[in-house]
Amino acid sequence: MSRAIPAVFTGLILSIQLAAQTPEPALTRLRKSGVPEAPGSVPVLYPPEAKERALALQQSIEAAHAWFQKQLGIQVPVVLVLLDSAMQETISDHNPIPHNRPSKVVPGMILIPPPLGLSKPRPGMDRDHVPGGKLAGEHVLFHEDGHLIANTLKFLQASPFVNELIANIFCVAYIRSQRPDLKWVLESELDLSAPPRYTSLFDLENAGGGNPANYFWYQGKLERLADFLTKDQDFRTLVEKLEKVFPAGPYPGLEAIIARLEAIRPGFAKELGPLAGPSTLLRIAPAACQEPTNETRESLIVIQNDTDSLLDVTHPDGHKLTVDAHRLRPVRLPIGSSIRLPDDTCLRVRDEPSLAVFKKQ
């Protein structure tokens, strides 16, 4: 004879099921793996052979994080993690550049992977900061911490340009105020191993920064822009201005973003330099549809609708995608797959990011 299960037990069973399905936080997995950890206001986890570097970087980020929190009157728990290949496997994180992971249930993490060796020493660097030195890439800590703190302030999240610029403002403001020994970061350019493939702000905003070297090139340019915005401005006041003009919400478009930054500091648009240039994404046009390949790697098509009407296209799985009038829509799909257009032609995904522009007839 079956009996109804009381609602309280139904809820308990559902909670247990959800808990079993929820992935264990990456920080918990690292701690369970037994890697060394140094406690502090910003704890640091690290491979055993990286202890000296880990403790040096920990001392640096603790000072910077305390300054940010004091300036903004907030508390944001953060953990620093220096990764090796085994730790990357533990948390399934193979991002080759420094990055961060915000979290609502555990402290946010600043993750520093093994160095890529893409840049050369910059003028003004001391021995500790050259590639391979124990403090190499120190200023990147301030940038990644800026991301984690900005995330708690509910800034606009839909713009890679805004996100990266704000993180650089944190970094630059701290260096200008507290770390004049790092002024070479602001006064010299990265000398990268290869010239950038992408140089347009449009491409950063809509298709990412390209390969790591290209991405570092973008970051160098954004450091210059952040320095332009922070000069002669109080850090907290500037953050409040940015919160006001970039609240959480829909993406306003690149032109509107630049106009708002121009209002904060006149001359900003002129400072963009090469970033203001046209897109260098591969331009593609509609063509006959083809059968998909078995490729699993993905690439990106940016659909730019410059007409006055909605543009409805069809995803390879059959569902409709709408591109609003005078708007963009990036779509990531396996290479070789196709997006079908209303006239039964297709946009085929290439092995590099591409741009398809639809203009008024």
60, part of any domain: yes
- Residue 360 near residue 305, CB atoms below 8 Å: no
How much is the pLDDT for 22?
A: 56
Q: Tell the burial category of 345 from Cβ atoms under 10 Å away from its Cβ (0-12, 13-18, 19+).
A: middle
> Percentage of the chain surpassing pLDDT 70?
93
How much is the pLDDT for 26?
A: 94
Which of 244, 261, 276 marks a domain boundary?
Answer: 276
How much is the pLDDT for 7?
A: 39
Q: Tell the burial category of 292 from Cβ atoms under 10 Å away from its Cβ (0-12, 13-18, 19+).
A: middle
11, part of any domain: no
8, part of any domain: no
134, part of any domain: yes
How much is the pLDDT for 8?
A: 38
Q: Are residues 272 and 320 in the same domain?
A: no
Only one residue has tokens 């330099």, namely: 273
Q: Are residues 103 and 229 in the same domain?
A: yes
Q: Are residues 239 and 300 in the same domain?
A: no
Q: Rounded to 5 degrees, what are φ and ψ at 181? A: -65, -15
Query: What are the residues facing 282 on neighbouring strands?
Result: 354
Q: Is 4 left (phi over 0), alpha (psi -120 to 50) or beta?
A: beta
Q: What is the mean pLDDT of the chain?
A: 91
Q: Are residues 298 and 157 in the same domain?
A: no
Q: Rounded to 5 degrees, what are φ and ψ at 174? A: -70, -45
Q: Are residues 191 and 248 in the same domain?
A: yes
How much is the pLDDT for 191?
A: 77
| Long-range contacts of 66-70, Cβ-Cβ distance < 8 Å, separation of 24 or more | 66/41, 67/174, 67/177, 67/178, 68/145, 68/146, 68/149, 68/170, 68/174, 69/149
Which of 218, 249, 276 marks a domain boundary?
Answer: 276
Q: Are residues 121 and 221 in the same domain?
A: yes
Q: Are residues 289 and 262 in the same domain?
A: no
Which of 228, 245, 276 marks a domain boundary?
Answer: 276
Q: Are residues 260 and 294 in the same domain?
A: no
Task: Provide the domain count of the chain.
Answer: 2
- The CATH number covering residue 352 comes to 2.60.40
17, part of any domain: no
166, part of any domain: yes
Closest-CA residue to 242 (of 323, 324, 150): 150
Q: Are residues 267 and 299 in the same domain?
A: no
Q: Are residues 298 and 249 in the same domain?
A: no
- Whole-prediction pTM value? 0.89
Q: Are residues 209 and 171 in the same domain?
A: yes
Q: Domain span at residue 316? A: 282-358
pLDDT tens for each residue of 313-340: 999 999 999 999 999 999 999 999 999 9
Q: Are residues 178 and 268 in the same domain?
A: yes
Q: Rounded to 5 degrees, what are φ and ψ at 49? A: -75, -10
Least confident of 46-55, 205-214, 259-268, 280-289: 205-214
Closest-CA residue to 176 (of 138, 217, 222, 232): 232
pLDDT surpassing 90 at residue 178: yes
15, part of any domain: no
- The CATH number covering residue 35 comes to 1.10.390
In the numeric block, which tokens belong to residue 330?
């990036």
342, part of any domain: yes
Query: What are the residues facing 80 on neighbouring strands?
Result: 44, 110
pLDDT tens for each residue of 51-80: 999 999 999 999 999 999 999 999 999 999
